[in-house]
Structure 1
């Protein structure tokens, strides 16, 4: 198969589905993985019809310890390798650290942190052998912000993905003759199912519309950045301003502001 293949996790909706559409529009085949088979198949049909590329559906739950191996094994059985990896799967875990079970927290860590890093680790050797690769880790503007009351691990995981992406991109730059890059994409509030799933849609309705972005420009910013070899990208003027502000603001002030805003943007029950 001459076309390159992009593997996208959490591809059934929102930012993940938009990544699939944009890579397909660039002439790439796509491997779509998520838990909802019907949504994946619907997206695959749309992409194949509109762009004339091949879409592979892989139903898998990243909370399971062997999920990464199963995804890559499915592709290997079809004689395909991963040229680009988009680690997009994720969700917000409502509540506080105290009122949620360890099982829920452990699954959250697996889906949003361990699985993306495992997938990156397992596709990189092939990328190195072929001298080409792209890895986009969908982090968040929350990775720059002080920790909030509620959704306790979200910001720390996203901050970890940012640092991981920076380090991995530096390692890839050191590979002689290789065109391999890793980027952390750090969107702010983006129209998707994210806030419906974590139960904060009503809180979000009260926010200024200028705080929101459509998935299309967010995804394009990520693809453009990884092709440039840019380790971190924050899409949107408002989000760039907020990211800069959080770095310049005195830490005690930042924490105080986040404490006041937590009930607006985080569900704690």
Structure 2
């Protein structure tokens, strides 16, 4: 195929769907993957009709270890290789660490850490060989600020994606491959509905702290095209990230101890 192909995980809604539309608008064919087949097919039809690009859908569960391989095998069977990867799939796991089941935490780590790293590892050699590649790891502002109680591995997983993106960016410098960690704050999407914290965060955070999924995805696309390794969309989020760098650890943890329950479900 003449057009490049972008693979977007967690593409059925929110930031993933917004990324798919933006990439298609810039001439990419798009491969969409998530668990909800009906929503994937509806988005694929919309993008194909609106932008005139090829769309492929792959229903897959990244909580299963075989998920990343199944996705890429499907694309290979259609004669396609991945030129741009958006690792967007993710969720939050409410509760404290001791109160949750390890099986749930293990599945969480598979989706949030292992799957994105495996997908990047599998597609990167081809990107380097073709001297073109774009990888966006959707991390979070939570990975740049002190940790809070509850959702225990969420910030840790996002921090790992940020460091992973930084290292990968250095390793691929000069190879035509750009790697960006996108670190949004509060975003209008289904994220808080899925983990049951919509009412909590909506009541405790002002409207000016929220961004739309389209705004976040557009910032991520611009950042990876420009070769910027870290992208924090929105002026309030940039300010929070800057202050977090300057706070002594003890102050940061004390702040999260007093304020964390406003947006974390214990």
Could you tell me the TM-score, scaled by structure 2's length?
A: 0.98
Aligned match of 1:181: 178
Task: Tell me by how many angstroms 1:263 deviates.
Answer: 1.4
Task: Tell me by how many angstroms 1:198 deviates.
Answer: 0.6
Runs of 4+ in 1 over 6 A off after TM superposition: none
2:194 to 183, 190, 197: 197
Which 10-residue stretch deviates more, 188-197 or 257-266? 257-266
Within-5 A mapping of 1:237-256? 237-256=235-254
Q: Note the alpha carbon deviations across 1:131-181, whole angstroms, 9 max, x for none.
A: 1000000000000111111000011110110000000000000x5xx2111
Task: Tell me by how many angstroms 1:249 deviates.
Answer: 1.2
How far apart, CA to CA, are the structure 1 residues paired with 2:36 and 2:42?
A: 10
Task: Tell me by how many angstroms 1:74 deviates.
Answer: 0.2
Within-5 A mapping of 1:85-104? 85-104=85-104
How far apart, CA to CA, are the structure 2 residues paired with 1:124 and 1:159?
A: 21
Aligned match of 2:230: 232
How far apart, CA to CA, are the structure 1 residues paired with 2:12 and 2:186?
A: 19
Structure 2: segments with no counterpart, 5+ residues = none
Aligned match of 2:37: 37
How far apart, CA to CA, are the structure 2 residues paired with 1:145 and 1:107?
A: 24
Aligned match of 1:2: 2
Structure 1: segments with no counterpart, 5+ residues = none
Task: Tell me by how many angstroms 1:100 deviates.
Answer: 0.6
How far apart, CA to CA, are the structure 2 residues paired with 1:168 and 1:205?
A: 35
Task: Tell me by how many angstroms 1:34 deviates.
Answer: 0.3
How far apart, CA to CA, are the structure 2 residues paired with 1:249 and 1:105?
A: 30
Aligned match of 1:146: 146
Aligned match of 2:58: 58
Task: Tell me by how many angstroms 1:127 deviates.
Answer: 0.6
Task: Tell me by how many angstroms 1:128 deviates.
Answer: 1.1
How far apart, CA to CA, are the structure 2 residues paired with 1:229 and 1:29?
A: 21
CA RMSD of aligned residues (A): 0.7
Structure 2 residue matching 1:98: 3-state secondary structure: helix
Structure 1 residue matching 2:41: 3-state secondary structure: helix
Structure 2 residue matching 1:86: 3-state secondary structure: strand
Task: Tell me by how many angstroms 1:217 deviates.
Answer: 1.6
Task: Tell me by how many angstroms 1:54 deviates.
Answer: 1.0
How far apart, CA to CA, are the structure 2 residues paired with 1:49 and 1:260?
A: 50
Structure 1 residue matching 2:56: 3-state secondary structure: strand
Task: Tell me by how many angstroms 1:73 deviates.
Answer: 0.4
How far apart, CA to CA, are the structure 1 residues paired with 2:31 and 2:22?
A: 13
Structure 2 residue matching 1:30: 3-state secondary structure: strand
Task: Tell me by how many angstroms 1:250 deviates.
Answer: 1.6
Structure 2 residue matching 1:32: 3-state secondary structure: strand
Aligned match of 1:127: 127
Task: Tell me by how many angstroms 1:129 deviates.
Answer: 1.2
How far apart, CA to CA, are the structure 2 residues paired with 1:28 and 1:181?
A: 16
Could you tell me the TM-score, scaled by structure 1's length?
A: 0.97
